[in-house]
Amino acid sequence: MTKKIFISGGAGFIGTNLISKLIKSKESIITVFDDFSNSYPNFRKIFKNEIKGKRIKIIKSDLINKQKLFKAIKNHHVVYHLAANSDISLAINNPLIDFKGTQITSNILEACRLNKIQHIIYTSGSGIYGDTKKTLYENKINNLEPVSFYGASKLACEGLMSAYSHMYNMKITVFRMANIIGKYSTHGVIYDFLKKLKKNKKKLLILGNGTQNKSYLHVEDLITAFLNVTKKQKKKYDIFNVSTDDLITVNKIANTIFKVTNLKTKKTYTGGNIGWKGDVSYIKLSNKKLKKIGWNYKYNTSLAVEKTIKENIYLLNGK
């Protein structure tokens, strides 16, 4: 049976990696609905043959456009809702960027309801937890206090997901992700460092004091969770943290870049415990729930960081 898959924000970092995996199965036909504002620049080039062969259909549009969305989503079996603002700091001066994320999630859910689509995979994030020094267990959290508009929007979207699942018997899987890194990066600390180093290899400005300590998960391990965990999900609505068990500081990430590239670069700092208003200094997620149903990561944080640097080294070399 041919499975028709709809991906909002499918031309972005995670979407590009997900599609690279999905097209290996000849049973998948994919619709990408994306306004291409945060897309991977070479998306169309990578999938040129699949687009020409109509295995991938691209609809360039904003998810705010209900009429276009409702028409495009018809007759699909699964929806991956990946679309979101990827630059959290932008909301400092424009909170509406993230509030829009809640609106488009409402549109996605309503489109699924009206078209009787019964399975949604949603990428939430660790931002819903706020800034805490504790290991976070998804089923043992009493108080969720986001410190960014991004986190607040994701939390609101989870509420909508839960309500739609219970009201309309829809299967919904929510992944609260660690920092996702890997091939086809379009944002994030490694991406930013490589872009900065292309301009100036002698000095690297680090936001904050460099001691921010977080989990980083390679996108390949996230895709494995997408494709395998959802098959084993027993509840109609369920939430999973997806992360490694270890952490890495921003300073260590910079040092790893210097090691991989053989650069002798001086680090400078803006100062403070966080990089920007809404950033967090520490995040560690418990992945025990995922491990209980058979998932595990292939790359720990250090390996994921080193692999990502090598996969995106072209940003430094300008190729």
Averages of pLDDT over runs of 10 residues in the chain (319 residues) are 92 97 89 95 96 96 96 96 82 81 96 95 93 78 84 94 97 96 95 96 97 97 93 93 97 98 96 90 94 96 98 86
Structure tokens at 200: 């100036």
Question: What was the pLDDT predicted at 312?
Answer: 96
pTM of the entire structure? 0.95
192, 303, 190: which is closest to 246 by C-alpha?
Answer: 303
pLDDT of residue 186: 93
Q: What is the pLDDT of residue 138?
A: 77
Give the bridge partners for 81, in sequence order: 8, 122
Which residue segments constitute the domains of the chain, with CATH numbers given?
3-180+216-242 (3.40.50.720), 183-214+246-317 (3.90.25.10)
Contact 28, 3 (CB under 8 A): yes
DSSP-assigned letters across all residues of 195-219: HHHHH-SSEEEESTTS--EE-EEEH
Quote the CA–CA distance of 130 and 143 in Å, as a whole number: 10
Q: Alpha-carbon distance 273 to 281, whole Å? A: 6
| Structure confidence at residue 241 (pLDDT) | 96
Residue 172's φ and ψ, nearest 5 degrees, are: -130, 130
Instruction: Say how far apart CA 75 and CA 70 lie, in whole Å.
Output: 11
Q: What pLDDT score was predicted for residue 66?
A: 95
pLDDT for the residue 319: 55
Identify whether the C-beta of residue 283 lies closer than 8 Å to the C-beta of residue 178.
yes
Q: How far lies 38's CA from each of 8, 191, 216, 281, in Å?
A: 12, 14, 20, 25
User: Do the beta carbons of residue 55 and residue 30 sit within 8 Å?
Assistant: yes
pLDDT of residue 26: 78
CA 79-226-5 angle, to 5 degrees, is 30
CA distances from 243 to 80, 116, 191, 205 (A): 19, 32, 19, 27
